[in-house]
Structure 1
């Protein structure tokens, strides 16, 4: 059976696929979202939602729901044997940098449920128990064959196929993408459990002892935790899950932690991989999330990085499908996101490898060098801030991208540059208190025109020019010192006048210190490939 369907087929309805679908739905781009599983995930899996992801969820209308269901954790404690050597408090390090200065602990199945509910609110749905079996690319796009719950095969013709189908991606394997990297040697386990121990509930505890490393994440429910550790040699590495007695045995391996297991309702035994593909795109086929890159759990970066893959790709697909941009715009998806995934592999994943290694030097490093290193970093303000911004992912930038353009200079040294996420700042719009993040949307470009003089005639003419001449949706905000406030001008490095073009993913595409309509037109012509 053959059916002419939608412009886009998304394979995989995990956090990445659901985010992509939500964004495309908001941009009114038709798609099919399929998943081979019969129903949404019922396991907690990834559980750390970073600040940058919450900013995206806020645009999708689910951030506050997630916060109510989850547990916002500000503080990380590093314990070596029985002593606390370091305490890291995010909301004290990132004051005013984001509306969400914490890590939200919420099980992945709840995150996926919120994303699916948001999708249903837009009259869209996941086709569960629909498996992508094979596909063929040709000049017209992709012909994909999927098998439904009744076993019948159906063909769909689409312009683009996006593989969000996880680490064992069918799309990646059949399209011939590489998946280079390594598997870490210890076997790890996760346990969602209720504990009785000596530490207050509500924070994250990173514990180090001879031959033992554990991380405890507090869930919303009192005394409930996600426990992460590697297996002791006494336990069978081929297990898929652990009994309550085995979890207690692992807890007892650290004599400095007096933890008694009261209950354990889910455990998982697994190997950790750090791999990434050589390209995020081949022709009409794209990879995103775990299909393109898998990481160590250090810092809770993996799921969050996949969600930002979708955030980067959605608006580009929308512009090309609508005919607003040339297909060359899609090349920038690999250009921008591959670098992010590779950098994460070269930093976080390699550091994790050192932390969990089992040889004698690594054990000495964990006990003596690592705590002093962390304490030193924490004592230096700029290093502490840099670390917090990196973990929260608000530091992710695309300054290297071909989409990041610079106009006439005239900004202070600390001003955000093209490619940066727009800084979070309070502003007033028609007397109403807002933030810069509330002024931008995920479905269109935004233009900030900042002027010292509220009666600047050139700024008013520029507003009209954008509405008349730019062929894609652009929302325009005219900001003055009297309305936006001096803090906005200072944070954005504006000395007198300035212009910022903000991409639909809230990154700065272009900046200039002069109000030149021709520069604005040139930027859109270059990015959209319409010159």
Structure 2
């Protein structure tokens, strides 16, 4: 049996679910398939950066994400069973009118995925679990993907969101170039622990040369702790209950029996890798299938979600709104250099060269050099075409409220607003300091696509995308 769909998304992690949500709200026929029998069970990517919080606001899951998590606790350094000092994991930041989310929000990855999955189902989308890709062929009209029991899916486009060992990436022959970030193996596990408070991220530095550190972080919104431990180069990582009890007892003042349960555990070696390209014909790579990060700095999941957010509106414009297929070329153009920059940042944070702060929040990322970006003002202001469109209040209208949804938005500050198609939202006002004066066409993913002193030229630009 062959199922037909406009888009097949392979992988039901944060990337695939985000893309599924974005396309479902645009009325695009999309199917998500997942190799496993259920959603990922671990906490791994637990940090939601401020820019991703803005994305989740637009996708309708922000309230659930906020309710499911909490802020990061202050690090507490232990030595010989005594508290010896505090460690701030992040440079402090303040909420401002244009940036309503200042610091990362902690939500275990499994819970983030449950929330995204629930939103996808609410919008009428679905995930087919237990579907492992075993073959793929493509031609000028579409892609055929095969599964073990002989079923297949025929789609106009395929998005590989199936992780660092992506079967789809291998099937189309795209390589990855990378490096070992740290030769020492690491353990990450979700456990139940007695004898530690939940007010701090507990840090146990190495006792001596050759020892590894131990960090035990209470997972917001749960009764669990996330254990992270580093081991000497060449050591094996035991992810059993007894193995984790042994390392916790050896590196802290806790007794082995204080670790009462292991709910999920994994061993890994931190590495950084970038796909040689993000597209092969009708197949796109997104998330870990396109870039693999060290977990330090919380950039992997967030960069992945924003891959999907960038690709989603473009697929929607081509598949539903009549935009030219060439628009899809800009996905790799815009996202591959961002992924490369974030890989460098993750590696620098892992090696202690850079602190978690403004750069890791991802609010400063943009597309000024993109071929989609048109800045036509004689004297651009603080916000330029290609930049993230900040929040703000324009004559009583909150901009993020106006942006929310799968549409384009016109922001006209101090000038006459253009007459635009009904699907485009218009916000106008006399003055907004963060923007300056002018007309700003804000893309569905919250970036300024076109900026001008007057409306001339804006409608021609908007027409490239089907008028939405």
- How many residue pairs align between the two structures? 457
Residue aligning to 2:363: 394
Does the residue aligned with 2:461 lie in a helix, a strand or coil?
A: helix
Residue aligning to 2:6: 7
Bigger radius of gyration among the two:
1
Does the residue aligned with 1:191 lie in a helix, a strand or coil?
A: strand
* One of 436, 439, 457 as aligned partner of 1:519: 457
Post-superposition offset of 1:224: 4.1
Greater mean alpha carbon deviation, residues 154-163 or residues 277-286: 154-163
CA contact (8 A) 1:202 1:219 kept: no
Residue aligning to 2:408: 445
Does the residue aligned with 1:131 lie in a helix, a strand or coil?
A: coil
* One of 170, 174, 177 as aligned partner of 2:171: 174
TM value normalised by structure 1: 0.79
Change (3 A) 1:215 1:344: farther
The within-5 A match list for 1:262-277 is 262-266=259-263, 267-277=265-275
Residue aligning to 1:226: 226
The within-5 A match list for 1:85-100 is 86-87=87-88, 92-100=93-101
Residue aligning to 1:504: 444
Change (3 A) 1:323 1:120: closer
Change (3 A) 1:501 1:202: farther
Give, in whole Å, the separation in 2 of the partners of 1:398 and 1:312: 11
Does the residue aligned with 1:388 lie in a helix, a strand or coil?
A: coil
Change (3 A) 1:96 1:20: same
Give, in whole Å, the separation in 1 of the partners of 2:428 and 2:63: 29
Residue aligning to 1:382: none
Residue aligning to 2:36: 37
Give, in whole Å, the separation in 1 of the partners of 2:87 and 2:37: 45
Change (3 A) 1:288 1:118: same
Does the residue aligned with 1:158 lie in a helix, a strand or coil?
A: strand
- 5+ long unaligned stretches in structure 1: 356-369, 375-386, 482-488
Question: Is 1:160 the counterpart of 2:160 in the alignment?
Answer: no
Does the residue aligned with 2:433 lie in a helix, a strand or coil?
A: helix
TM value normalised by structure 2: 0.89
The within-5 A match list for 1:31-180 is 31-73=30-72, 76-77=74-75, 79=77, 83-84=84-85, 86-87=87-88, 92-147=93-148, 151=149, 153-180=150-177
Give, in whole Å, the separation in 2 of the partners of 1:346 and 1:293: 11
Question: Is 1:491 the counterpart of 2:434 in the alignment?
Answer: yes
Question: Is 1:478 the counterpart of 2:416 in the alignment?
Answer: no
Post-superposition offset of 1:25: 0.4
The within-5 A match list for 1:313-462 is 313-352=311-350, 354-355=351-352, 388-412=357-381, 415-429=382-396, 434-451=397-414, 459=416, 462=417
Question: Is 1:187 the counterpart of 2:127 in the alignment?
Answer: no
**RMSD of aligned alpha carbons:** 2.8
Change (3 A) 1:315 1:395: same
The within-5 A match list for 1:231-310 is 231-232=231-232, 237=236, 239=238, 241-244=239-242, 246-254=243-251, 258-260=253-255, 261-266=258-263, 267-310=265-308
Does the residue aligned with 2:147 lie in a helix, a strand or coil?
A: strand
Residue aligning to 1:363: none
